Amino acid sequence: MKVLFAVALAALACAGCSASLTLDPPPTPKPPPVVTASPSAPKDIRPLIESQFAQSASVYRSWWPQYVTPGLHLLGTDSSSGAVSPCGPLSGGDAFYCPTDNGVYLDLGMMQDFSRLPRGDGATLATVAHELGHAWQAQRHLEFSGSTVMNSELHADCLSGAVIAAIAPGSDALAQGAADAYASGSMDWTNPQFHGTPTQRRDVTLRGAGGLAACDSLIR
Ligand SMILES: [Zn+2]
Protein backbone atom coordinates (compact mmCIF):
# COMPACT_ATOMS: atom_id res chain seq x y z
CA MET A 1 0.00 0.00 0.00
CA LYS A 2 2.82 2.41 0.93
CA VAL A 3 4.55 1.72 -2.35
CA LEU A 4 1.47 2.43 -4.39
CA PHE A 5 0.95 5.69 -2.52
CA ALA A 6 4.57 6.74 -3.15
CA VAL A 7 4.23 5.88 -6.82
CA ALA A 8 1.08 7.98 -7.06
CA LEU A 9 2.77 10.97 -5.34
CA ALA A 10 5.83 10.71 -7.54
CA ALA A 11 3.66 10.53 -10.63
CA LEU A 12 1.70 13.63 -9.52
CA ALA A 13 4.88 15.55 -8.62
CA CYS A 14 6.33 14.84 -11.97
CA ALA A 15 3.25 15.45 -14.05
CA GLY A 16 4.34 17.45 -17.03
CA CYS A 17 8.08 16.93 -16.42
CA SER A 18 10.21 15.66 -19.14
CA ALA A 19 12.58 13.89 -16.78
CA SER A 20 12.05 10.20 -16.62
CA LEU A 21 10.86 8.77 -13.39
CA THR A 22 12.84 6.04 -11.70
CA LEU A 23 11.39 4.14 -8.84
CA ASP A 24 12.98 1.82 -6.35
CA PRO A 25 12.05 -1.76 -7.03
CA PRO A 26 9.35 -3.06 -4.73
CA PRO A 27 10.73 -4.74 -1.65
CA THR A 28 11.37 -8.43 -2.12
CA PRO A 29 8.84 -10.39 -0.17
CA LYS A 30 10.36 -12.13 2.84
CA PRO A 31 10.68 -15.88 2.43
CA PRO A 32 8.51 -17.90 4.76
CA PRO A 33 10.27 -18.89 7.96
CA VAL A 34 12.19 -22.16 7.72
CA VAL A 35 10.42 -24.91 9.60
CA THR A 36 13.05 -26.87 11.44
CA ALA A 37 10.78 -29.52 12.90
CA SER A 38 7.84 -31.15 11.24
CA PRO A 39 5.78 -34.21 12.07
CA SER A 40 7.62 -36.12 9.35
CA ALA A 41 11.10 -35.22 10.58
CA PRO A 42 12.82 -38.35 11.86
CA LYS A 43 13.22 -38.29 15.59
CA ASP A 44 16.28 -39.69 17.27
CA ILE A 45 15.24 -43.13 18.36
CA ARG A 46 18.58 -44.08 19.87
CA PRO A 47 17.46 -43.29 23.44
CA LEU A 48 14.39 -45.47 22.94
CA ILE A 49 16.41 -48.37 21.55
CA GLU A 50 19.04 -48.07 24.28
CA SER A 51 16.35 -48.04 26.94
CA GLN A 52 14.54 -51.06 25.48
CA PHE A 53 17.88 -52.84 25.16
CA ALA A 54 18.75 -52.23 28.81
CA GLN A 55 15.29 -53.27 29.98
CA SER A 56 15.29 -56.46 27.91
CA ALA A 57 18.80 -57.43 29.00
CA SER A 58 17.76 -56.92 32.59
CA VAL A 59 14.87 -59.36 32.10
CA TYR A 60 17.24 -61.98 30.69
CA ARG A 61 19.59 -61.44 33.64
CA SER A 62 16.69 -61.84 36.05
CA TRP A 63 16.02 -65.24 34.52
CA TRP A 64 19.67 -66.24 34.48
CA PRO A 65 22.16 -64.07 36.38
CA GLN A 66 25.14 -65.31 34.34
CA TYR A 67 23.69 -63.68 31.23
CA VAL A 68 26.30 -61.30 29.83
CA THR A 69 24.64 -58.27 28.29
CA PRO A 70 25.83 -57.95 24.69
CA GLY A 71 27.26 -54.76 23.27
CA LEU A 72 24.78 -52.68 21.31
CA HIS A 73 25.84 -51.50 17.86
CA LEU A 74 23.38 -49.20 16.16
CA LEU A 75 24.45 -48.68 12.59
CA GLY A 76 22.74 -46.32 10.26
CA THR A 77 22.95 -43.44 7.90
CA ASP A 78 24.64 -41.20 10.43
CA SER A 79 27.20 -43.73 11.58
CA SER A 80 30.19 -45.14 9.81
CA SER A 81 28.66 -46.91 6.87
CA GLY A 82 30.18 -50.21 6.01
CA ALA A 83 30.98 -50.95 9.63
CA VAL A 84 31.70 -54.63 9.91
CA SER A 85 31.13 -56.96 12.81
CA PRO A 86 33.39 -59.95 13.39
CA CYS A 87 30.51 -61.95 11.90
CA GLY A 88 30.39 -59.87 8.72
CA PRO A 89 28.83 -56.64 7.52
CA LEU A 90 25.41 -55.50 8.57
CA SER A 91 23.28 -54.75 5.56
CA GLY A 92 20.55 -52.14 5.53
CA GLY A 93 17.28 -53.26 7.00
CA ASP A 94 18.91 -56.03 8.98
CA ALA A 95 19.62 -57.00 12.54
CA PHE A 96 21.69 -59.82 13.98
CA TYR A 97 23.53 -61.13 16.97
CA CYS A 98 27.23 -61.90 16.61
CA PRO A 99 28.46 -64.48 19.15
CA THR A 100 32.12 -63.73 18.39
CA ASP A 101 32.00 -60.37 20.15
CA ASN A 102 28.70 -60.92 21.98
CA GLY A 103 27.30 -57.98 20.03
CA VAL A 104 23.85 -57.03 18.80
CA TYR A 105 23.91 -55.17 15.50
CA LEU A 106 20.85 -53.18 14.48
CA ASP A 107 20.29 -51.07 11.41
CA LEU A 108 19.06 -47.74 12.67
CA GLY A 109 17.07 -47.04 9.51
CA MET A 110 15.08 -50.22 9.99
CA MET A 111 14.41 -49.39 13.62
CA GLN A 112 13.36 -45.90 12.55
CA ASP A 113 10.87 -47.44 10.12
CA PHE A 114 9.53 -49.73 12.83
CA SER A 115 9.11 -46.83 15.22
CA ARG A 116 6.82 -45.12 12.72
CA LEU A 117 4.37 -48.02 12.80
CA PRO A 118 1.27 -47.64 14.91
CA ARG A 119 2.39 -48.85 18.33
CA GLY A 120 5.91 -48.87 16.89
CA ASP A 121 7.54 -49.12 20.29
CA GLY A 122 6.36 -52.71 20.38
CA ALA A 123 8.02 -53.48 17.07
CA THR A 124 11.38 -52.07 18.13
CA LEU A 125 11.11 -53.81 21.50
CA ALA A 126 10.34 -57.14 19.82
CA THR A 127 13.38 -56.78 17.57
CA VAL A 128 15.70 -55.88 20.43
CA ALA A 129 14.37 -58.70 22.61
CA HIS A 130 14.66 -61.18 19.72
CA GLU A 131 18.34 -60.39 19.11
CA LEU A 132 19.13 -60.46 22.82
CA GLY A 133 17.38 -63.84 22.77
CA HIS A 134 20.01 -65.13 20.35
CA ALA A 135 22.62 -64.10 22.91
CA TRP A 136 20.67 -66.08 25.50
CA GLN A 137 20.70 -69.12 23.22
CA ALA A 138 24.42 -68.81 22.48
CA GLN A 139 25.51 -68.24 26.06
CA ARG A 140 23.44 -71.18 27.28
CA HIS A 141 24.63 -73.36 24.40
CA LEU A 142 21.08 -74.26 23.48
CA GLU A 143 20.56 -76.63 20.61
CA PHE A 144 17.64 -76.90 18.27
CA SER A 145 16.41 -79.71 16.13
CA GLY A 146 16.22 -79.45 12.40
CA SER A 147 18.75 -78.57 9.74
CA THR A 148 17.54 -75.00 9.24
CA VAL A 149 17.77 -72.00 11.52
CA MET A 150 13.98 -71.95 11.80
CA ASN A 151 13.70 -73.47 15.26
CA SER A 152 16.24 -71.17 16.83
CA GLU A 153 14.49 -68.21 15.19
CA LEU A 154 11.08 -69.29 16.45
CA HIS A 155 12.60 -69.75 19.91
CA ALA A 156 14.00 -66.19 19.74
CA ASP A 157 10.53 -64.96 18.77
CA CYS A 158 9.09 -66.84 21.74
CA LEU A 159 11.69 -65.29 24.05
CA SER A 160 10.81 -61.85 22.74
CA GLY A 161 7.17 -62.44 23.65
CA ALA A 162 8.23 -63.50 27.15
CA VAL A 163 10.43 -60.43 27.54
CA ILE A 164 7.71 -58.05 26.37
CA ALA A 165 5.22 -59.62 28.78
CA ALA A 166 7.74 -59.18 31.59
CA ILE A 167 8.52 -55.55 30.76
CA ALA A 168 5.05 -54.33 29.86
CA PRO A 169 2.41 -56.79 31.02
CA GLY A 170 -0.96 -56.07 29.53
CA SER A 171 0.36 -53.47 27.12
CA ASP A 172 -0.28 -53.47 23.40
CA ALA A 173 3.47 -53.83 22.78
CA LEU A 174 2.94 -57.58 22.63
CA ALA A 175 0.31 -57.24 19.93
CA GLN A 176 2.63 -55.07 17.89
CA GLY A 177 5.53 -57.42 18.50
CA ALA A 178 3.39 -60.30 17.25
CA ALA A 179 2.30 -58.29 14.22
CA ASP A 180 5.92 -57.43 13.54
CA ALA A 181 6.90 -61.10 13.76
CA TYR A 182 4.02 -61.97 11.43
CA ALA A 183 5.22 -59.42 8.90
CA SER A 184 8.74 -60.83 9.09
CA GLY A 185 7.62 -64.36 8.25
CA SER A 186 7.81 -65.84 4.80
CA MET A 187 6.93 -68.99 2.87
CA ASP A 188 10.48 -69.38 1.65
CA TRP A 189 10.89 -72.94 2.89
CA THR A 190 13.92 -73.72 0.74
CA ASN A 191 15.93 -70.75 2.01
CA PRO A 192 18.48 -71.93 4.57
CA GLN A 193 17.76 -68.71 6.46
CA PHE A 194 14.02 -69.43 6.58
CA HIS A 195 12.75 -68.04 9.91
CA GLY A 196 9.20 -69.44 9.84
CA THR A 197 5.87 -68.61 8.28
CA PRO A 198 4.04 -65.44 9.28
CA THR A 199 1.57 -67.46 11.32
CA GLN A 200 4.26 -69.51 13.03
CA ARG A 201 6.20 -66.40 14.02
CA ARG A 202 3.15 -64.54 15.32
CA ASP A 203 1.82 -67.52 17.27
CA VAL A 204 5.10 -68.35 18.93
CA THR A 205 5.61 -64.72 19.97
CA LEU A 206 2.22 -64.76 21.65
CA ARG A 207 3.02 -68.11 23.21
CA GLY A 208 6.06 -66.55 24.87
CA ALA A 209 3.79 -64.18 26.73
CA GLY A 210 2.84 -67.22 28.80
CA GLY A 211 6.29 -67.11 30.37
CA LEU A 212 9.77 -68.37 29.69
CA ALA A 213 8.82 -72.02 30.23
CA ALA A 214 6.39 -71.78 27.32
CA CYS A 215 9.41 -71.56 25.02
CA ASP A 216 11.17 -74.67 26.32
CA SER A 217 9.41 -77.08 24.00
CA LEU A 218 11.32 -75.54 21.11
CA ILE A 219 14.67 -76.56 22.59
CA ARG A 220 16.03 -79.96 21.72
ZN1 LIG B 1 16.83 -64.12 14.69
User: Measured in angstroms, how far is the CA atom of residue 40 from the centroid of ligand 1?
Assistant: 30
Cα–ligand 1 centroid distance for 56 (angstroms) = 15
Percent of the chain with pLDDT over 70: 77
- For the chain, helix, strand, coil in percent to 5 are 50, 10, 45
Angle at which helix 198-208 crosses helix 173-184, to 10 degrees, equals: 150
Whole-number mean pLDDT of the chain? 81
Residue 35 predicted with pLDDT over 70: no
Q: pLDDT class for 161, splitting at 50, 70, 90?
A: very high
In the predicted structure, residue 77 carries a pLDDT above the cut 80: no
Name which residue leads in pLDDT, 70 or 169.
70
CA–centroid distance, residue 23 to ligand 1 (Å) = 72
Q: Rounded to two decimals, what is the model's pTM?
A: 0.77
Cα(4)–Cα(26) distance, integer angstroms: 10
Going from the Cα of 152 to the center of ligand 1, the distance in angstroms, rounded, reads: 7
Ligand 1 centre distance from Cα of residue 96 (Å): 7
What is the average per-residue pLDDT within 32-49? 66
Confidence of residue 41 (pLDDT cuts 50, 70, 90): low
- For ligand 1, the distance from its centroid to the CA atom of residue 193, given in whole angstroms, is 9
